Amino acid sequence: MQPDPVASRILEILSEVAEGVDTNNIDPDASLRDQLGLDSVDFLDFVMVLRSRYGIEVPEEDYGEFSTLNTAVAYLGPKFDKSGPA
């Protein structure tokens, strides 16, 4: 099965902003923060990369959409489609 390109982008960014995290065995329905040991700075760095690299703005009220990999993919999928290729 081909990996989801949106999930791959998300995990790539997370591995950049939270150095040393292992994104290989992520449960897509479990908390990303708990699985990866992310803190609020890591998350803000993630949001900054989305904005600078892809032009995707994430309002603070939507931060809850990133609780799991699946919710993040559902939220960002359409936004990545609009932003174009990586």
For 21-51, b/e burial (b = at least 16 CB within 10 A) is: bebeebeeeeebeebbebeeebbebbbebbe
- Active-site residue flag, 39: yes
Instruction: For residue range 13-71, list pLDDT tens digits in order.
Output: 999 998 888 888 899 999 999 999 999 999 999 999 999 999 999 999 999 999 999 99
Is the domain defined by 5-83 classed in CATH 1.10.600.10? no
Q: What's the pLDDT at 19?
A: 83
Catalytic residue among 27, 29, 39, 62: 39
pTM of the model: 0.87
- Distance between the two ends of the chain, CA-based, in angstroms? 21
Give domain limits for the chain: 5-83
1 pLDDT more than 50: no
Q: What's the pLDDT at 82?
A: 74
